[in-house]
Structure 1
Amino acid sequence: MAAIRNTEGQLRAGRKFAFQEVERAVTRAYDAKPVVARKSKAKTVAKFQDRVATNAVEMEDLRTMSPWPRPELITAEMAVDLLFPDDGALLCMAKETRKAYTATRDHWLKKEHLHSLLVPNLATSMTGKTQDGHLSKRCNQQFPDRTYAVVEFDDGASLAEQAGRALYLGKILPLTLVCHSGNKSLHCWFLAAGEDEDNVLSFYDVAISLGADRVGRTRCQLMRTPGAWRVFPGGFEETESTLTFSAEGIRQKVHYFNWANAWTSTH
């Protein structure tokens, strides 16, 4: 609860604060702490970014390069089926971070477009225990192995630069899918099934040096559901008991998909 108390300490009577502040505090309070084999010391490397920036690819060109024709037509239901082609798969999805839970593939059928967040790894159980020993509906214990490594660039680079970085990282792990976050970044999915965890973390070190967010290193991290709708929240006041969402939303459109690099039960 320390995370929530820290946030509360920043509040003033009548002050409005961003929904993300609440979301981050609740996530830190209830979700598992990142469990990694080693601590990353990777940092953004400007020269490396500049070199890879020469490979920038416009979104239209990226869609043309996609082995799956017209990837922008892939719906959330299609995306989940293509990424996790197993009717018995246990998947963790959410409309909001704090409301994430794990259920069978059948449970999510026809609801995928409403759940803009998805853990990119197959779960082995409905619940698990956090490092603090608390029962959780989303924690690292449920995801002992990687299915995908998802990279999000949050350094303000253009979409074209981000796409170029994704293609560059595809030389290390197979690039499966690229989708828009519904805001300012791309979420790039790489096949990681069967890879040694240290190798995946080394992959993230390279991605971080190019401007990627570190959160992907955490196995239970929620990422954007390809093809789903992202609804932007409105303001949240201290006195309110519910979250008010704006009527507008944006689709987390797929711009690239390579079926050959998708997970199968044989991995």
Structure 2
Amino acid sequence: MTDQLPPFVQDMLSAPPRAGEGVHRWLFQVARQLHAHLLTGEIVNLLEGRVANCGRFVPRQEIVSAVQNALPFAWQHGSQSQPIHFAPKWPSVNQKQREAIIRGSGELADLWEFSKPRIKDGEAHTEQIIDRLFPDGPLLCCGKLNSDFDTRPREDWRGELSGLQFTVPSAMSAVTGKTKDGRESKHALDNTARRRFLVCEFDNGELDDHAALLIHLGGYAPLVCAVHSGGKSLHGWFYVHGQLDEKILRFFRYAVSLGADPATWTRSQFVRMPDGVRDDGKRQTVFFLNFSSLEAIR
């Protein structure tokens, strides 16, 4: 597998650091180069073998996270091979394409009409929605504020979710994990499981614009839920579980080119709780639901 790689990449692979010498950063740097040559699973397996004797136990999830985090920064033909600083390579907004899609893809009323089911009463339906989004009772990280959160089994949240503002749109793999600065936390990338939903948030323009963009993106990935922030943005939950990371990234880069906020690429990023409540008391209205893509795999 490695004999077809560029010589400088082979050199990087031949000299993994020892524990305490930056193993995690090395994983990221090498993965950034390998994405141009190997599939994600092949990269993980290769790196796992290279750090097996580094002097500390390196969990497979740490390697998977490093490989996934390196994907947006992946080396491309014609780029500098060894830059000192990395910057996200998200595309700029294609205003012409965005405007054309907004003109031809519908508006908020259409998104509402497409919803199956529709929430027509004034009651909170957060619990039922979360049950459908996460049917197997996994660990969920939810919070009232960015600084006030917890990670618990789904059933331990029962009866509380409608009063919360935030949730991580994927299950958690453990109650706690390590933050980038080494602190133990119940909300970290380290203890976030594989991506289940990718959330695209639009906050520039009108809600009708955001709805049109979500309807359009729904032609590329299953749109399961659309949540109003209670302010000026609309969040679309797209079901991506089991898809190749490269495919998910291509989809998200396209969404960013239409104005989606790149911040939600981070798997552990908090997003608006469907039918939850903002800190100012405003309900985070759900305008669209369609669980058919989830039910197809059960």
TM bucket normalised to smaller: 0.7 to 0.9
- Tell me the number of residue pairs that the alignment of Structure 1 and Structure 2 aligns: 217
Matches within 5 A, 1:60-75: 60-70=109-119, 75=125
Task: Tell me by how many angstroms 1:207 deviates.
Answer: 0.8
- The residue that corresponds to 1:221 in the other structure is 269
Q: Which residue of 2 aligns with 1:252?
A: 284
**135, 146, 149: which is aligned to 1:85?**
135
Matched residue of 1:113: which SS? Answer: helix
Greater displacement, 197-206 / 158-167: 197-206
Structure 2 residue corresponding to 1:162, chosen from 195, 202, 210: 210
Q: Percent identity?
A: 31
Deviation at 1:115, TM superposition (A): 1.2
Partner residue in 2 for 1:105: 154
**Change in 2 beyond 3 A, CA 1:36/1:77:** farther
Contact 2:203 2:210 survives alignment (8 Å): no
Q: Identify unmatched segments of 5+ residues in structure 2.
A: 1-64, 74-88
- RMSD in angstroms over aligned alpha carbons? 2.2
Q: Which has the higher helix share?
A: 2
**Distance in structure 1 (CA, Å) of the matches to 2:288 and 2:167:** 18
Give the gaps of 5 or more residues in structure 1: 1-31, 233-248
Greater relative CO (CA pairs within 8 A, separation 6+): 1
Please tell me whether residue 35 in structure 1 is matched to residue 84 in structure 2. Answer: no
- Tell me which residue corresponds to 2:164: 115
SS in 1 for 2:226: strand
Q: Does 1:188 pair with 2:236?
A: yes
Please give the TM-score of this superposition, normalised by the length of structure 2.
0.68
Give the 3 Å change call, closer, same or farther, for CA 186–107 of structure 1 in structure 2: same
Amino acid at match of 1:120: P
Q: 1:61 deviation in Å?
A: 2.6
Pair 1:171 & 2:219 matched:
yes
Contact 2:263/2:269 (<8 A) preserved: yes
User: Structure 1 CA distance, aligned partners of 2:212 and 2:158?
Assistant: 33
Return the alpha-carbon distance in structure 1 between the equivalents of residues 70 and 154 of structure 2: 27
Structure 1 residues 99 and 130, CA, compared in 2 at 3 Å: closer, same or farther?
same
Partner of residue 245, structure 1: none
**Structure 1 Cα separation of the partners of residues 174 and 70 of structure 2:** 20
Q: Residues 36 and 218 of structure 1: is their aligned pair in 2 closer, same or farther, counting only changes over 3 Å?
A: farther
Q: Deviations over 1:199-227 (max 9, x none)?
A: 22221111111111111100000000011
193-202 vs 213-222, greater mean Cα deviation: 193-202
Query: Which secondary structure does the structure 2 equivalent of 1:85 belong to?
Result: coil
The Cα of 1:264 is off from its aligned counterpart by: 8.2
Q: CA deviation at 1:261?
A: 2.4
Call closer, same or farther: CA 1:63–1:70 in 2, change over 3 Å: same
Q: Which residue of 1 aligns with 2:23?
A: none
Distance of 2:276 and 2:295 partners within structure 1 = 20
SS in 1 for 2:156: helix
Distance (Å, rounded) in 2 between the aligned partners of 1:194 and 1:74: 30
CA drift of 1:41 comes to: 2.8
**Structure possessing the higher radius of gyration over alpha carbons:** 2
Which one has a larger percent strand, Structure 1 or Structure 2?
1
C-alpha change, 1:60 and 1:263, in structure 2 (3 Å) is same
Query: 1:106–1:35: structure 2 CA closer, same or farther, 3 Å change rule?
Result: same
Amino acid at match of 1:193: H
Counterpart code for 2:236: C
